[in-house]
Amino acid sequence: MKRCLIITGGKLDLSFAGSFLGQETFDKIIAVDAGLEAVKALGLEPDMIVGDFDTVKPEVLAYYRRMEHIVWDTHQPEKDETDTELALLKAQATGCTEVVVLGATGGRMDHMLGNIHLLFPCLQKGIEAYILDSQNRIYLIDKERTFKRREIWGKYISFLPLTEEVRGITLTGFKYPLHEKDIEIGTSLCISNELQGEEGAITFTDGVLIVVESHD
């Protein structure tokens, strides 16, 4: 598995990020525009820097310009894709099979919602893609999945439909079980569930779900 870390320009708890990165290894690091400032604060050297660089401090740009090994993917501010989308496309193009995105939540809600939707092309290509912050791990699923207490990101697991409808949801091993339930956009039925024991599972017949593992 080839793992890629993307650090983008949203709010990022540096204490959390430092602790997380101290336990993880990545084959490639991509910094996205203002996320470059967090990269510098964390003492990282990215393999690639992507963006239009309209929100990053000039002195930070100058610091990394001196590093000859870094690939720069520079774009104009007037473009169709966000910088985060461009970074995800680069991760896909380099053969990464797992992508973790930090700095993709908090701040502007349009960017956060857009970043969650950007997980969908990764799902379609068979790439495991996660958005992480100090309280949440967010990803998409389109097939059954097993959850183990020792592996989930927190106490709560929520399921929200990304597609208009998700059919035949069955939850076993959860505090609030379901049996072959259809849910549509606009319901909060599957928010804040919990594992009852050490393991639980979800199955469903059609659709795509947003999964949020979280804690208070």
Tens of pLDDT along 39-48?
999 999 999 9
* pLDDT(51) > 90: no
Question: What domains can be seen in the chain, in order of their start residue?
Answer: 1-133 (3.40.50.10240), 139-212 (2.60.120.320)
Helix or strand run (H / E) with residue 19: helix 14-21
Mean pLDDT of 68-74: 92
Residue 80 binned pLDDT confidence (cut-offs 50, 70, 90): confident
Q: Is 91's pLDDT higher than 90?
A: yes
Q: Which amino acid is at 22?
A: G
Give the model confidence (pLDDT) of 99-158 as tens digits. Answer: 999 999 987 889 899 999 999 999 999 999 999 999 999 999 999 999 999 999 999 999
The number of beta carbons lying within 10 Å of the beta carbon of residue 67 is 10
Residue 52, pLDDT above cutoff 90? no
Cα separation, 165 vs 168, in Å, equals 10
Residue 88 has a pLDDT of 96
If you ran DSSP here, which 8-state letter would residue 29 be given?
E
Tens digit of each residue's pLDDT (9 = 90 or more) over 6-35: 999 889 999 999 999 999 999 999 999 889
Expressed in angstroms, the distance from the first to the final Cα of the chain is 31
Please state whether the predicted TM-score (pTM) of the whole model is above 0.75: yes
User: Which residue, chain included where needed, has tokens 């709560």?
Assistant: 156
Residue 117 and residue 139: Cα distance in Å, rounded? 10
- Please give the average per-residue pLDDT across 171-185, as a whole number: 97
The Cα–Cα gap between 177 and 202 comes to: 10
What is the average pLDDT across 200-210?
A: 98
Say whether 53 sits in a helix, a strand or coil.
coil
How far, in Å, CA of 71 to CA of 12, rounded? 23
Q: For the chain, what is the mean pLDDT?
A: 94
Question: What's the CA angle centered on 105, arms 191 and 199, to 5 degrees?
Answer: 40
Asked if the model's pLDDT at residue 201 lies above 80, the reply is yes
**Binning pLDDT at 50, 70 and 90, where does residue 56 land?**
confident
